[in-house]
């Protein structure tokens, strides 16, 4: 796929926004990545945008994971168990997603975002248990949530952090900040699995992906520190996270509906 130089500059700018979002919310980077690829950068093929953004989000998640790990926000055992189950789901979901019309995928993705936004607002006052860990008792629940969110992640071609964060909270009872840090392990694993599956069908623009990743590094570092500040305010992080989801979802629904008409 041949893009203009301006499109690559827009790709770097979009990557910085995604990196900031990933560092700040744990999830949400892929929520922005796909519509930015399609509507701002101007990638003409929806599946190409999905495959390329999946790789870019996975790489940015890995970079942001370093910042959260240094701040002590990652519960590694839970992240590993969740990710292993989700990788299987992501492969199966992405295989199915490639067979669905790209515009329909974007529209369904936007509807899913609205549901998750509502769930995040409802759980805004939960403090969580800082000592929560994965054990034999909650392992089946963690594996179940991991497999399910991995399947959604692969189907929609997203990192899936906005699903992984509430999934980790629901299955382990950990605080929001720990769920955000731990989710980045799964975001990277799911995104890479999806990207490789799409790449097998030629749906990844590698130069654009690397430009996107480069733009996301600086934004991710800033986002991780801002997230630590917001975590001290009861429910603030959840409200900001849900607000982002609603705004982008409404925009995508309008654009997708226009495309169908």
Distance separating alpha carbons of residues 59 and 81, to the nearest angstrom: 20
DSSP 90: H
Q: Per-residue pLDDT for 153 more than 80? A: yes
For 162-215, write each residue's pLDDT tens digit.
778 888 888 888 888 888 889 889 988 988 998 999 999 999 999 999 999 888
Q: Per-residue pLDDT for 148 more than 80? A: yes
Which ranges of 98-160 does DSSP label H, i.e. alpha helix?
102-122, 139-156
pLDDT at 127: 57
Residue with tokens 């309008």: 254
Give 183-242 as a DSSP string: HHHHHHHHHHHHHHHHHTTT---HHHHHHHHHHHHHHHHHHHHHHHHHTTSTTHHHHHHH
230 to 47, 133, 149, 219: CA distances (angstroms): 35, 23, 25, 16
What is the reported pTM? 0.76
- 37-54 in b/e burial notation, b at 16+ Cβ within 10 A? bbeebebeebbbbbbbbb
pLDDT at 234: 47
The two structure tokens encoding residue 127:
């403090």
pLDDT at 227: 72
**Of 43-47, 109-113, 235-239, which has the strongest mean pLDDT?**
43-47
Distance separating alpha carbons of residues 155 and 31, to the nearest angstrom: 14
For 87-140, write each residue's pLDDT tens digit.
999 999 999 988 888 777 778 877 877 877 776 666 555 556 677 778 888 889
The mean per-residue pLDDT over the stretch 51-69 comes to 84
CA atoms within 13 A on the CB side of 173: 10
Among candidate residues 152, 61, 67, the one with its CA nearest the CA of residue 113: 152
The mean per-residue pLDDT over the stretch 249-255 comes to 80
Distance separating alpha carbons of residues 35 and 249, to the nearest angstrom: 10
The two structure tokens encoding residue 93:
């979901």
The mean per-residue pLDDT over the stretch 64-88 comes to 89
Distance separating alpha carbons of residues 147 and 103, to the nearest angstrom: 25
The mean per-residue pLDDT over the stretch 131-154 comes to 86
């Amino acid at each position: 796929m041949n893009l203009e130089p301006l499109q690559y500059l827009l790709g770097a700018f979009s990557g910085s926004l995604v990196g900031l979002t990933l560092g700040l919310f744990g999830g949400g980077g892929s929520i922005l990545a796909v519509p930015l690829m399609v509507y701002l950068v101007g990638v003409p093929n929806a599946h190409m945008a999905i495959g390329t953004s999946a790789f870019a989000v996975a790489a940015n998640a890995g970079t942001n994971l370093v910042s959260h790990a240094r701040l002590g926000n990652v519960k590694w055992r839970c992240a590993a168990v969740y990710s292993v189950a989700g990788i299987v789901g992501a492969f199966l979901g992405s295989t199915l997603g490639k067979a669905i019309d790209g515009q329909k995928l974007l529209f369904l993705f936007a509807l899913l975002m609205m549901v998750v936004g509502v769930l995040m607002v409802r759980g805004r006052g939960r403090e969580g248990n800082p000592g929560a860990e994965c054990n034999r008792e909650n392992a089946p629940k963690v594996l179940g949530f991991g497999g399910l969110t991995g399947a959604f992640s692969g189907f929609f071609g997203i990192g899936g952090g906005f699903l992984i964060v509430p999934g980790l909270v629901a299955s382990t009872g950990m605080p929001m900040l720990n769920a955000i840090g731990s989710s980045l392990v799964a975001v990277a694993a799911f995104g890479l699995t999806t990207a490789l599956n799409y790449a097998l069908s030629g749906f990844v623009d590698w130069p654009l992906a690397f430009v996107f990743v480069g733009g996301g590094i600086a934004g991710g570092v800033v986002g991780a520190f801002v997230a630590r500040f917001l975590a001290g305010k009861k429910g603030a992080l959840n409200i900001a996270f849900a607000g982002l989801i609603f705004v982008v979802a409404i925009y995508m629904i309008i654009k997708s509906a226009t495309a169908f008409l």
